């Protein structure tokens, strides 16, 4: 597993506002969107491209275009949905799949309640979106879903990760797939309720309210 922590003052600034408990949902959603666009730039550094010939008004030259099959972006519902627009802004031709996952607050295990993914993901570059990499259970379950369908190249885009969750993902994925994690920050630890400290609270609730 490769870890990339986006080290940029704009990322740090936006994250600080997100962390602030007094930031209202409307601002929170806007900032998540902006932050993900910055993370998407890092996350797509190895996106596959093909060389193409182009005719400019002056000469013929070569450029690149995104290779086929198109990348697949998969937000993990519900909180990952808040990251979708920021990601597809940079990858407008990507296909979008969905995974509905929820953690059981007692066992902390991931429960899958919905999935809409292509059956065959061989050769596809996949981008999983989940704002909080806490215990790692949800992300490992999501990576399992994708690799069971043949994906071997998975980039996870998260806002904040806990060291405990990163260790779980690292141990679980092993050599099975080429997995990268791109985050805005790695925080201190998890608390007894498996929330990231200092974190930003419940990302889904802060995006969409307590429903
Ligand atoms: N999920 C969240 O939304 N926040 C955390 O801190 C941990 C998991």
Over residues 53-108, the pLDDT tens digits come to: 999 999 999 999 999 999 999 999 999 999 999 999 999 999 999 999 887 777 77
Q: What is the pLDDT of residue 52?
A: 97
How far does the chain reach from its first CA to its final CA, in angstroms? 34
Q: Which domain holds residue 189?
A: 2-208
**CATH number, domain containing residue 62:** 3.40.50.2020
Q: What is the pLDDT of residue 101?
A: 87
Selecting among 56, 60, 62, 107, the annotated active-site residue is: 107
Selecting among 103, 147, 152, 178, the annotated active-site residue is: 103
What is the whole-number distance in angstroms between the Cα of residue 102 and the centre of ligand 1? 11
Q: What is the pLDDT of residue 61?
A: 98
Count structural domains, the chain.
1
Could you tell me which residues are annotated as the binding site? Answer: 78, 103, 130-138, 196, 201-203
120 carries an active-site annotation: no
User: Quick one: 22 exposed, middle or buried, by C-beta within 10 A (0-12, 13-18, 19+)?
Assistant: exposed
205 carries an active-site annotation: yes
The secondary structure of residue 80, as a DSSP letter, is G
**Chain-centre distance for alpha carbon 199:** 16
Q: What is the pLDDT of residue 103?
A: 73
CA distance 35 to 204: 16
CA distance 92 to 97: 14
Q: What is the pLDDT of residue 209?
A: 86
- Ligand 1, residues at Cβ distance < 6 Å: 79, 132, 134, 195-196, 199, 202-204
Selecting among 33, 85, 144, 202, the annotated active-site residue is: 202
Q: What is the pLDDT of residue 210?
A: 80
Q: pTM for this one?
A: 0.94
Could you tell me which residues are annotated as the binding site for uracil? Answer: 196, 201-203
Identify the residue whose C-alpha is closest to ligand 1 atom 2.
Answer: 202
Q: What is the pLDDT of residue 120?
A: 95
CA distance 42 to 11: 12
Q: What is the pLDDT of residue 140?
A: 95
46 carries an active-site annotation: no
Low-confidence ranges of the chain (pLDDT < 50): none
Q: How many residues does the chain have?
A: 211
Q: What is the pLDDT of residue 5?
A: 98
CB contact at 8 A, 98 and 115:
yes
CA atoms within 13 A of residue 171's CA, in its CB half-sphere: 9
Q: What is the pLDDT of residue 166?
A: 97
């Amino acid at each position: 597993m490769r870890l990339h922590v986006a080290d940029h003052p704009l990322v740090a600034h936006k994250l600080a506002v997100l962390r602030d408990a007094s930031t209202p949902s409307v601002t929170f959603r806007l900032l998540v969107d902006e932050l993900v666009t910055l993370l998407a730039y890092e996350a797509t550094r190895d996106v596959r491209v093909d060389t193409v010939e182009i005719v400019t008004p002056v000469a013929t030259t070569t450029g690149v275009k995104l290779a086929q099959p198109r990348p697949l972006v998969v937000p993990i519902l519900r909180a990952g949905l808040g990251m979708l627009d920021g990601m597809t802004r940079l990858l407008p031709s990507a296909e979008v799949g969905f995974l509905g996952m929820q953690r059981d607050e007692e066992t902390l295990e991931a429960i899958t309640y919905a999935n809409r993914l292509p059956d065959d993901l061989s050769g596809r570059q996949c981008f999983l979106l989940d704002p909080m990499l806490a215990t790692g259970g949800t992300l490992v379950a999501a990576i399992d879903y994708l690799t069971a369908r043949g994906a071997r190249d998975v980039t996870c885009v998260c806002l904040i990760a806990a060291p405990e969750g990163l260790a779980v993902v690292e141990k679980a994925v092993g050599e099975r797939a080429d997995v990268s994690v791109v985050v805005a920050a790695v925080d201190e630890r998890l608390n007894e309720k498996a929330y990231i400290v200092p974190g930003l609270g419940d990302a889904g609730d802060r995006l969409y309210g307590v429903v």
